[in-house]
Amino acid sequence: MSDDRIPFALPDITDAEIEAVTRAIRSGWVSSGPETVAFEKEFAAHVGGQVEAVAVNSATAGLHLALEACGIGPGDEVIVPTWTFTATAEVVRYMGATPVLIDVDPDTLNIALPSVADVLTSATKAVIPVHLGGLGVNLKTLRAIVGANIRIIEDAAHALPTITAGNQVGDCRYSDAAVFSFYATKTITTGEGGMITTRDPAIAARARVMRLHGIDRQSFDRYQSDKSTWFYDVVAAGFKYNLTDPAAAMGRVQLNRSAAMHARREELAEQYLDALRRLPVRLPAQPPVGDTHAWHLFILRISPEAPVDRDGFIAAMAEKGVGTSVHFIPLHKHTIWRDSLGLEPRQFPNATEQFEHVVSLPMFSSMSDDQAQRVASAAIRILT
Ligand SMILES: *Cc1c(COP(=O)(O)O)cnc(C)c1O
């Protein structure tokens, strides 16, 4: 394999991130502290300012805390699209509740909104829409379907930045909370990390307590120098989900750069859309006019009339030095969800059918025009 291989994903890191992390380490405050507080404030302002932001050490932790703060528990049902990463469903199990998997829209691969109405029961307490690849779910429509009493917790792992139904994902205009991921491959990264945003002060307050052992105040306050600060009270058996300051320092720089990084992803998506439009593929769905796509993922579907199938395409791209991936293997095809929920492929006709055809092309903001061109040329050679 040549050493000019194009990876599927790569974090976009500059000297500014390295300097910020170095500064945070040199400060001596290597757990959660002032950088984390500043990152939360800047993140809340970034997504619209009407929310509080709570930093956590992963989106999985954030989804767990959001469900916990909403009081989800045994006997409750939480609606989850089958087309997602397993974290979206596993957090429901953390709470002892039952994930109710449903099919997706065959065009957007996002949760099938009409199917949400079909599975609502008296036990339904929440729904977790996923903005797949950075293409927004229409939350205004979802809110109209579920009504005011069912919680909407957005899995916004792919959605920084996404505008849907005219609103920035994370501003929580129609949802109870949104949870972002800063995992290595996501649109901004802190290595590992995540952020909850919410307009509900009760959710934010509970998440802050539960992310740090159920202690009733933050460690940052505890080390302030007024005399009574040694005292703290543990009010719940909480978790250890706080973000560290070196990670937050990196996140602040990435957030600052996020508009520019998004503009680059949009350019790359345009190049792919233009170069691949005559091939036997289905191109990714586009958002309605006025909304935007984060382009975390660029998901192609290889048509049945193409000279190779999806697996053949992935192998041929690898031979040409281009990394690809598949997002996602639907949850109903994984052993744990299939067996524990008694699921059959025919319950998810769209996801089952589309899964055979999907492949994600390399997409990262540090990708050059030349690299994008080489990805497109390789795809064109394989598919014509
Ligand atoms: C990456 C991802 C997560 C989990 O994010 P972590 O920060 O790694 O916990 C959750 N949901 C989806 C859809 C993801 O892609």
Gap from CA of 85 to ligand 1 centroid (Å):
7
Q: What is the per-residue pLDDT for 130?
A: 98
Kindly state the DSSP code that residue 279 receives in the 8-state scheme: S
**183 in contact with ligand 1, CB cutoff 6 A:** yes
**157 in contact with ligand 1, CB cutoff 6 A:** yes
Q: Identify the CATH homologous superfamily for domain 258-383.
A: Aspartate Aminotransferase, domain 1 (3.90.1150.10)
**181 in contact with ligand 1, CB cutoff 6 A:** yes
Kindly state the DSSP code that residue 150 receives in the 8-state scheme: S
Residues 6+ apart with CB under 8 A from 366: 10, 11, 12, 264
Backbone dihedral angles phi then psi of residue 367, each to the nearest 5 degrees: -75, 140
Whether 15-255 and 258-383 share one fold: the answer is no
Quick one: how far is CA 380 from the chain centroid? Answer: 30
Gap from CA of 226 to ligand 1 centroid (Å):
40
Gap from CA of 26 to ligand 1 centroid (Å):
30
Q: What is the per-residue pLDDT for 231?
A: 81
**57 in contact with ligand 1, CB cutoff 6 A:** no
Q: Identify the active-site residue in 41, 125, 186, 240.
A: 186
Distance of CA 368 to CAs 21, 183, 218, 265, Å? 26, 22, 43, 11
The encoded tokens of residue 326 equal 């598949």
The encoded tokens of residue 32 equal 């959660």
Distance CA 281, CA 143 (A): 33
With CA atoms as reference, report the closest residue to 39 among 22, 26, 27, 21: 21
* Placement of tokens 């070196």 in the chain: 246
**130 in contact with ligand 1, CB cutoff 6 A:** yes
Gap from CA of 283 to ligand 1 centroid (Å):
24
Distance CA 210, CA 326 (A): 34
With CA atoms as reference, report the closest residue to 197 among 33, 70, 42, 43: 43
Amino acid letter, residue 130:
V
CB burial string 302-333: b at 16+ within 10 A, e below: beeebeeebeebbebbeebbbbbbebbebbbb
Gap from CA of 140 to ligand 1 centroid (Å):
23
Gap from CA of 11 to ligand 1 centroid (Å):
15
User: What beta strand segments (E) does the chain contain?
Assistant: 52-56, 77-81, 98-102, 124-127, 151-155, 163-164, 167-168, 177-181, 194-198, 281-282, 298-302, 358-361
Q: Are 364 and 342 in contact (CB under 8 A)?
A: no
The encoded tokens of residue 250 equal 């990196």
Give the start-to-end residue ranges of the domains of the chain.
15-255, 258-383
Closest residue to atom 2 of ligand 1, CA basis:
157
With CA atoms as reference, report the closest residue to 72 among 126, 132, 122: 126
Gap from CA of 384 to ligand 1 centroid (Å):
35
**88 in contact with ligand 1, CB cutoff 6 A:** yes
With CA atoms as reference, report the closest residue to 104 among 328, 325, 361, 338: 328
pLDDT profile of the chain (384 residues), mean per 10: 83 98 97 97 95 98 98 98 98 98 98 97 98 98 98 98 97 98 98 98 97 80 61 92 98 98 98 98 97 98 98 98 98 98 98 98 98 98 97
Q: What is the per-residue pLDDT for 1?
A: 43
Which ligand 1 atom is nearest residue 193's CA? 7
186 carries an active-site annotation = yes
Bridge-based pairing of strands 151-155 and 124-127 is parallel
Domain 15-255 classified CATH 3.40.640.10? yes
Residues facing residue 154 across a β-bridge: 178
Distance CA 359, CA 82 (A): 17
Distance CA 288, CA 366 (A): 27
What strands lie across the sheet with 358-361, from one edge to the other?
Answer: 281-282, 298-302, 358-361
- Cα-only R_g, the chain: 21
Which ligand 1 atom is nearest residue 132's CA? 13
Residues 6+ apart with CB under 8 A from 60: 87, 90, 91, 194
- Ligand 1, from 80, 155, 195, 327: best to mutate by most atoms within 8 Å of Cβ? 155
- Ligand 1, from 183, 188, 243: best to mutate by most atoms within 8 Å of Cβ? 183
Backbone dihedral angles phi then psi of residue 127, each to the nearest 5 degrees: -135, 140
pTM score, two decimals?
Answer: 0.96
- Ligand 1, from 60, 160, 195, 325: best to mutate by most atoms within 8 Å of Cβ? 60
